[in-house]
């Protein structure tokens, strides 16, 4: 349509302009008082969220390849879910680590179990440790036993750490040669510094983030991820709409969605996407199935930016982001039907889900 016939969507402080050029739509989005021109990745962000969420619901119902999606990129490569808490490792954390059998556990136990699991972020490692040592808790913590088991696994060629993100070694702080030994000492340090109790006194997720960021070797990305993981448990009950911190992948995804983001923070863009998600789904005529009434939260929108960063390497190879990466490494290998998902009880979703999510 001609420039003087622009279609304008208005909602509170939000402006979205769509005007066609010779080959594709040029869109202008106002965020933090700045007018940002979008790229085709902007629209792909919303369509990715819709398609990935549909795959999730189909897998819960028992569908498997090739019935999950007609998107060739989603069929071939591995991506996380639209909702972070729906991912396989998050589901394991929720079911088996935090809410498995925690009656009588102390605040230290919940803190210790959550971060011990997240330091490795690998269910196989957790299961190997519990098989040998029994239920892991702070009251039964034994550095030598854990260190010995992790050393033995490493010597046998077993992977202790997930490849999802890089964990700093903390060797300069705690002095051990092995990364896992330093991470065990880090946990000891945090509990000696009363982190479980101090976490409970934080007034919002931003304060929890700052507390975790103050721990040795923990940077902004890990501090935000750990704050989110701990918030799945009983120690805190922050809204996931209170605070967000963009990680490296999200920064790359944000940069690909716009021609330029000069003068606008990545966190402001993520918040804008979360606040106005319904507007954008409507504008693109996308029928998005949310999480049993729960819209995408800030952590989810941050994660979708990470995933659209990867997706666009294949879908839009000419659009370069900050990372300079051009390939997606992990291939998709469907593992069959998912169990009915489980979420933090205070979200009020578990009673809505029913057997195998039959409502969706």
CA distance 219 to 189: 16
How confident is the model at residue 15, as a pLDDT?
Answer: 52
Beta strand 25-31 with 34-37 is antiparallel
CB 308 within 8 A of CB 45: yes
Q: pLDDT tens for residues 302-336?
A: 999 999 999 999 999 999 877 677 677 778 776 66
CB 89 within 8 A of CB 127: no
Whether a cis peptide bond, with omega within 30° of 0, leads into 306 is no
How confident is the model at residue 128, as a pLDDT?
Answer: 97
Q: pLDDT tens for residues 83-98?
A: 999 999 999 999 999 9
- Stretch 132-160: mean pLDDT: 96
Percentage of the chain beyond pLDDT 70 is: 88
* Alpha-carbon Rg for the chain in angstroms: 22
């Amino acid at each position: 349509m001609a420039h003087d016939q622009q279609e304008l969507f208005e909602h509170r402080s939000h402006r979205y302009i769509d005007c066609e050029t010779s080959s594709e739509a040029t869109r202008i989005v106002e965020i933090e008082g700045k007018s940002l021109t979008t790229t085709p990745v902007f629209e792909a962000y919303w369509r990715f969220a819709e398609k990935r969420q549909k795959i999730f619901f189909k897998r819960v119902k028992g569908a498997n390849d090739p019935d999950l999606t007609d998107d060739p990129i989603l069929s071939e490569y591995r991506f996380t879910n639209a909702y972070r808490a729906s991912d396989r490792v998050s589901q394991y954390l929720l079911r088996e680590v935090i809410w498995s059998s925690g009656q009588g556990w102390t605040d230290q136990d919940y803190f210790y179990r959550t971060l011990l699991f997240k330091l490795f972020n690998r269910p196989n490692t957790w299961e190997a440790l519990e098989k040998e040592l029994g239920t892991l808790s702070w009251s039964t913590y034994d550095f030598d036993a854990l260190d010995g088991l992790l050393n033995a696994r490493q010597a046998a060629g077993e992977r202790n750490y997930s490849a999802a993100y890089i964990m700093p070694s903390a060797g300069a702080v705690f002095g051990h040669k092995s990364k896992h030994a330093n991470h065990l000492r880090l946990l000891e340090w945090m509990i000696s510094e009363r982190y479980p109790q101090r976490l409970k006194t934080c007034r919002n997720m931003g304060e929890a983030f700052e507390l975790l960021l103050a721990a040795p070797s923990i940077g902004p990305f890990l501090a935000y991820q750990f704050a989110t993981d701990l918030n799945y448990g009983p120690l805190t009950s922050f809204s996931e709409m209170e605070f967000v911190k963009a990680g490296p992948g999200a920064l790359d995804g944000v940069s690909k969605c716009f021609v330029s983001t000069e003068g606008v923070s990545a966190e402001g863009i993520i918040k804008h996407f979360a606040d106005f998600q319904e507007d954008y789904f409507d504008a693109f005529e996308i029928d998005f199935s949310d999480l049993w009434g729960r819209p995408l939260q800030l952590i989810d929108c941050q994660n979708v930016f990470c995933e659209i960063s990867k997706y666009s390497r294949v879908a839009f190879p000419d659009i370069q982001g900050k990372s300079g990466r051009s390939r997606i490494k992990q291939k998709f290998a469907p593992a069959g039907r998912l169990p009915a998902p489980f979420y933090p009880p205070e979200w009020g979703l578990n009673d809505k889900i029913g057997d195998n999510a039959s409502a969706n």
